[in-house]
Amino acid sequence: MFIDVHAHLDSKEFRKPVSELIDEARIAGLTTIINCGLNKETNRSTQRLSEKYSIIKPAYGIYPIDAEQMSDSEVNQEIAWIRKQKPIAISEIGLDGKWGKDIEKQIRVFRKMLELAIEMRVPVIVHTRQAEEQCFNVIESTGIKKVVLHCFTGPKELIPRAITNKWSFSIPPVIVHDKSFAELVTQLKLGQLLTETDSPYLAPKRGTQNSPANVVLTIKKMAELKGLNAEEMRNIVFQNYQNLFW
């Protein structure tokens, strides 16, 4: 009953075939991997993976950097396509102030994606990098409730705001060596915790590729931080997943 709520198994960076990653995940005890699209191409590859592997649930979105490169017409066409699908979530969406150049356009597309999620009654899984306060402002302005902050590394002073909003946080396996994620988990309520990998990125061991099976390591570390055993933490995360996505 392990869950990976954010992965990119269609990434061309993987050195292993998807079938091998899936086998490893199933052996580790995973029941669900949410694969997140970034643009038209990866939304379609995510769809194909979900049709081939029952363990994969599709999430479709427009990544902030991709949003900058799309015309308004292309954005609207992709939203129309997503509207016809049955994604488990809208993702990967959000704001990126580190690599982005047109934050205003990012905000316009982000708002459209949030409104689409409200319309479709599905959660959003949000990317926010060096634009966290703006991101929070946009989310709050739409009134959407089902929000997952993916791999949150923003200012600590914003965490209480997210806690008050009852947003969830998905924690990657880098928590085994990254103190900032450990500190984040200690602040959060048990009901706000989810697990992700962002595979092939954010591996628990530097210089290696991540994979969904590594959520087991995240569960162990979070259990340690919360004074629980691994089975208790796994069950809590699984229940959080069910409460949010079903």
- pLDDT at site 120: 98
- Helix/strand number for the chain, H first, E second: 10, 8
**DSSP symbols for 47-65:** HHHHHH-TTEEEEE---HH
- pLDDT at site 18: 97
What CATH code is carried by the domain that includes residue 55? 3.20.20.140
* The one-letter amino acid at 220: K
State how many domains the chain has: 1
Angstrom distance (rounded) from CA 177 to CA 195? 16
Give the three-class secondary structure for 167. Answer: coil
Helix runs in 72-148, H state only = 72-83, 103-120, 132-142
Q: Which domain holds residue 155?
A: 2-245
Ranges in the chain, pLDDT < 50 = none
- pLDDT at site 246: 86
pTM across the whole model: 0.97
Give the three-class secondary structure for 1. Answer: coil
Residue 184's closest CA among 167, 171, 195, 202? Answer: 171
At residue 59, what are phi and psi to the nearest 5 degrees? -125, 130
25-29's contacts with Cβ under 8 Å and 24+ in sequence apart are: 25/55, 25/211, 25/212, 25/213, 26/55, 27/213, 28/2, 28/212, 28/213, 28/215, 28/216, 29/1, 29/2, 29/216
* The one-letter amino acid at 143: G
- pLDDT at site 79: 98
